[in-house]
Structure 1
Amino acid sequence: MKQLLVKLRQNKAFTLIEMLLVLLIISVLLILIIPNIAKQSDYIQQTGCKAQIRLVDSQIEAYTLKFNHKPDSIDNLVSEGYIKENQKNCKSGETITIRNGEAVAS
């Protein structure tokens, strides 16, 4: 009997209850963190779109310096190589256009 107790004490493993407690704690942390990440996603997309508009505005200025007039549309910037085709749209789905010589998301 003593040998059995000694062997059981030498076996250093986690019990089922300890494992369940760890899983419970991880689950609670995930439940608390995931909604905050979802809220930040909209803010990140808006900030990214503003940055992309500033990029297009700077390319409009570069185009203006080279051709001495502002581009008629954003397609002029794409065709001249100032921006890429995929830079005409924000990640949020808004399309960037040029109005009165400035980039605008709509």
Structure 2
Amino acid sequence: MKNEKGFTLIEMMIVMLVISVLLIITIPNITKHNSNINNKGCEAFVKMVQSQVQSYEIEHNAYPASIDDLVTEKYLNTTKCPDGKTTVSIGADGTVSKVSTP
């Protein structure tokens, strides 16, 4: 008999089975943590907008009237959190808050 090196069909099927089981275990965990990741991204965005409000206030000696003022003055590119569903708004005292949109 020849001494051929390589995998048999059964060995390849076992490897594919192990990879499939690992994927079945990991994919639900990744999707479960997706909302947590979006929440942390939105919290970071709110902090960034708050710092941009402070920059605007330093330069103009007044708080912006709305979030649109920050976009117009090129302090921000967008008013939405990374999840795409939540927007931010600015209060009269310059505080930034999240506003969920349906």
Q: What percentage of aligned pairs have identical amino acids?
A: 43
Q: Does 1:15 align with 2:5?
A: no
Q: Does 1:35 align with 2:21?
A: no
Select the structure of larger CA radius of gyration.
Answer: 1
| 2:38 aligned to which of 35, 45, 67 | 45
Bigger fraction of residues in helix: 1
Structure 1 stretches of 4+ with a deviation exceeding 6 A read none
Deviation at 1:36, TM superposition (A): 0.6
SS at match of 2:82: coil
SS at match of 1:95: strand
Which residue number corresponds to residue 91 of structure 2?
99
SS at match of 2:90: strand
Mind listing any 5+ residue stretches in structure 2 that lack a counterpart?
none
Q: CA RMSD in A?
A: 0.9
Deviation at 1:91, TM superposition (A): 2.0
Question: How many residue pairs end up in the alignment?
Answer: 97
Mind listing any 5+ residue stretches in structure 1 that lack a counterpart?
none
The amino acid across from 2:58 in the alignment is L
